[in-house]
Amino acid sequence: MGIVYIIIAAFVSALIAGIGAWSITRSTFLARIKATEQMHAKEMENSERLAQQAQANYERALKEMKETVVASMTAETEKILKKREQELASGNQTTMDGILKPLKESISAMEKAMKDNAVTHLENTTKLSEQLKQAVKDMQEKTSDVGKKADSLSEALTGRPKVQGCFGENFLDAILAGEGLQEGIHYTREAANEDLSRPDFVFHFKDGFEQKDLIVDSKVSLTAFVDYMNATDPAEKTAALDRHIKSIRKHIDELAKKDYAKKNAKSFADYVLMFMPRDMAFRVALEADPMLWQEAYQKNVLISTEQTIMPFLKIMQLTWNKFHQDTNTQKITQAAQNMIDRVADFYDQYIELGKKLKAVGTAYNGGVTKLQDGGRSITTSARQVISLGTKLSKGKELNIPEEIPEIGSAE
């Protein structure tokens, strides 16, 4: 037990001594760690200060470098720009000289051309002015001449009934020619009737293959109408219009008394067509007296102008066109009939020829029978004569075929 106590006491003493030593060592270690931390903190502070100073130095150096570079670049740029400016100035001058010189030359040439053109224009204007004056003078003379001719024509038409009549006839004849109608075929001028009366025109229509006629007579009333158109005073105008209507009525009555329609056996109408060559002249009269046209028709006179006569001409053309079509159809039909007749004649002749050929064949076959050997044929007789010593003429031989073909009957 004593030894154990001694050992335990020794162990406890050693443990206490160890704990004391460990305590001393730990304190030292902690002191050292703290010192290290303080030193590290100071180094970190120094490092941070050095880093800030380095950053400041870098920024200052960068700023100085930028300023240096900018200054250098600015100087170089100014130098380059100045040089470029000089080059551009020199080049522009050359270019401008190249542009402006021809332009100056063109402007000079243009100025010269304009001056020359102004001189030429002045000369031409002067000549044109003279030509215009001469043209005006000539026109005045021609107008005066036309006016004189117009006055003469007006005087002739208004003062001479016979001239008016010829004017109306020629006017209508021109209309007919313009429509392609031919004198002597589609119409006749001044054809004499049995009583030797002569209407101005006879229009020929076609009714199938028959001819039908329409009598047309030209009546011109211009004297009073011209007075009416030229009158400025209302009273004179009214008086001239009354004379104009009376003139038309006079023509109607004269034409009604002649009764041309009954004197032409081929006339298809009881009325006669009274042609007035001036449509305006008839319209003026009809506006003043609307019953004028009806009064004329009751007297078997149908008034027409260059406008209202056109339907008659168109109908006349249609009848002639149908006539030509019918004529062509008739010719075609006749040609077909002739062809059929000729075919019939051919068949008749061919049949007759067949009969004759049949008769000839019968006669031929009869001759063949007489030529064949045997009996009393001429061939047998010839052979007998030869056998008796009769000789044939020199160069002749009696070549009798063994069989002579007959002609078949033609049925």
Q: Is the pLDDT of residue 147 over 50?
A: no
Q: Which residues pair with 206 in a beta bridge?
A: 211
Please report whether residue 313 resides in a domain: no
Q: What is the pLDDT of residues 282-315, one digit of tens each?
A: 899 999 999 999 999 999 999 999 888 999 999 9
Show which of 279, 308, 337 is a domain's final residue: 308
Residues 108 and 201 in one domain: no
Position 101 scores a pLDDT of 66
Position 167 scores a pLDDT of 79
Q: Give the pLDDT mean for 343-370.
A: 78
Please report whether residue 356 resides in a domain: no
Show which of 308, 339, 374 is a domain's final residue: 308
Residues 60 and 107 in one domain: yes
- Asked whether 274 and 296 are in contact (CB, 8 A), the reply is yes
Position 128 scores a pLDDT of 47
For 89-125, the DSSP string reads HHHHHHHHHHHHHHHHHHHHHHHHHHHHHHHHHHHHH
Residues 173 and 303 in one domain: yes
Q: How far apart are CA 374 and CA 379, in angstroms?
A: 8
Please report whether residue 321 resides in a domain: no
Residues 225 and 269 in one domain: yes
Q: Give the pLDDT mean for 128-154.
A: 46
Residues 191 and 236 in one domain: yes
Angle of helix 279-288 relative to helix 223-230, nearest 10 degrees? Answer: 80
State which amino acid sits at residue 169.
E
Q: How confident is the model at residue 231 (pLDDT cuts 50, 70, 90)?
A: confident
Residues 8 and 117 in one domain: yes
Which carries the bigger pLDDT value, residue 394 or residue 222?
A: 222
Position 199 scores a pLDDT of 87
Residues 123 and 10 in one domain: yes
124 Cβ contact list (under 8 Å, min separation 6): none
Report angle CA 243, 246, 251 to the nearest 5 degrees.
130
Residues 304 and 188 in one domain: yes
* 398: DSSP letter: -
Please report whether residue 367 resides in a domain: no
Please report whether residue 404 resides in a domain: no
Q: What is the pLDDT of residues 58-76, one digit of tens each?
A: 677 667 766 765 566 566 6
Q: Give the pLDDT mean for 103-109.
A: 67
Residues 182 and 123 in one domain: no
Phi, then psi, of 219 in degrees rounded to 5: -130, 120
Q: How confident is the model at residue 146 (pLDDT cuts 50, 70, 90)?
A: very low
Phi, then psi, of 391 in degrees rounded to 5: -95, 150
Residues 190 and 290 in one domain: yes
Q: Which of 316, 272, 326 is nearest to 297 (CA)?
A: 272
**Pair of tokens at residue 175:** 């209309």
Residues 132 and 187 in one domain: no
Q: How far apart are CA 172 and CA 275, in angstroms?
A: 8
**Pair of tokens at residue 369:** 């029978």
- Asked whether 306 and 281 are in contact (CB, 8 A), the reply is no
Q: Is the pLDDT of residue 86 over 50?
A: yes
Position 351 scores a pLDDT of 86
Please report whether residue 246 resides in a domain: yes
Look up tokens 């076609």; give the residue.
206
Q: Which domain holds residue 248?
A: 164-308
Please report whether residue 41 resides in a domain: yes
* 183: DSSP letter: B
* 303: DSSP letter: E
User: What is the domain count for the chain?
Assistant: 2
Position 205 scores a pLDDT of 92
State which amino acid sits at residue 5.
Y
Q: How far apart are CA 55 and CA 185, in angstroms?
A: 129
Q: How far apart are CA 73 and CA 70, in angstroms?
A: 5
Largest CA distance in the chain: 215
Which carries the bigger pLDDT value, residue 242 or residue 60?
A: 242
Reported in sequence order, the residue ranges of 140-289 that DSSP labels E, i.e. its strands, are 187-189, 201-207, 210-218, 272-275
Q: Which helix (H) or strand (E) holds 373?
A: none
Please report whether residue 302 resides in a domain: yes
Report angle CA 356, 357, 358 to the nearest 5 degrees.
90
Q: How far apart are CA 263 and CA 258, in angstroms?
A: 9
pTM exceeds 0.85 for this model: no
Residues 176 and 297 in one domain: yes
- Asked whether 403 and 410 are in contact (CB, 8 A), the reply is no
Show which of 285, 308, 331 is a domain's final residue: 308
The count of residues in the chain is 411
